[in-house]
Structure 1
Amino acid sequence: MIGRIKTQTSEASQFVVDWMEHRTGIVTMLEHFLYEPVPKRGAWLYTLGSAVLFTITLQFLTGILLLFYYAPTTDDAWNSVEYIMTDAYFGQLIRGIHYWSANFLMAFIGLHMGQVFFSGGYKAPRELNWIVGVILLLLVVGLSFTGYLLRWDQDGFWASVVGMKIGSYSPFVGGYVIHFLLGGDAVGPATLSRFFALHVWLLPATIAPLIGAHLYLLRR
């Protein structure tokens, strides 16, 4: 009985896959983008890019779930985080995955870029893909920085103050950019609102197509 159910489930799944492939070619496309032969020696080094893609996908998914409970105001931000951690179903688990995958993401990106650099993967004709990767690194750092303030606790507040102070010394436009991000002369409600917009909307909306471009340039 169990064997027959497994067989029927497998056949149904294969039917759906074949149906989608015949009409969209999605299976062939995914195989082209996600599968590539690698050397046997040091093959695990070539999984770092996939690790980056996996962790940033975790970031997006858990971030969307956290949005259902997070309140981006100075009066409610910390209370909403506390609610997520203590009362929301699986809230502590989801926020924990979001937090730790962010840390692993930075580590994986560093290792991935190091592997590409030392293997010469940044050289022609791959230099454009390297540039896209560097831009993605900067955007992910921006995600990390803007997300740190959203907790609206002492650590996040003062880390943002220090980061803004350092950024204000950037030549030419540093002061103007920091003043815009602050929304005034000091970290306050406008800062939280703008960091939230960057963290949840602008940066992810920029990162997603760049990831697509990165994969395209890698597989072309």
Structure 2
Amino acid sequence: MTFIGVREAADRLAITPRRVHQRIEDGTLPAVRIGNQWAIDPARLPLAAARPSRPLSPRMAWALLDLLAGGSPAVASTERARLHAYAERLRASDDPAALLRAWMARRADRQEFRVAAADLADLRDDERVHLSGVSAEGSFIVSATLEAYVATSALADLVDDYFLVPAERQEGNVVLHVVDVVPDTTAWPVLAADLAEHLGSRESARAAELVGRAS
């Protein structure tokens, strides 16, 4: 049997190595310890065989989300043609969440933290935090996790102000998508991309519903 490591598993699943470690620890991704490394049977990767495409560059990922929302992204004519092809493929897909998960993997620096439960409400109301994904009103998903976008320039102060602790080997209750320019988090394509990234059936179904309604 041929095993793969955490980094390759993360690449195949279009998630971060940190999330692979979390899934190993919560039992949703079977793995064996060899020395000081985790070894994973690629046949056990729930999404490996279904990964439909490579991640887009951050610039093209945001351009596609802009196009899907009805915008006119400032890209070259050849790139615009590619974006329209991606959009058509998404609308015709039987699993649009998987496509979004793959294409949007590099759109932001996804970081997970833990914050004290007493501070969660204040963090949610902080003007530097732009609710998204499972925390957005349009998700219709009840989650104990706070998910939001935050500007790169605001991250360090936010971490200090709320004593955010990186959730490397334990379950986090804060997911921050760190970007240079915060997008319109109320736009349905951004919400769909965020939900698809969660890998859960409810989130994937809601992402697919958003794509279907816009088609």
- TM-score, with structure 2 as normaliser: 0.26
Larger Rg: 1
Which is richer in helix?
A: 1
Which is richer in strand?
A: 2
- TM-score, with structure 1 as normaliser: 0.26
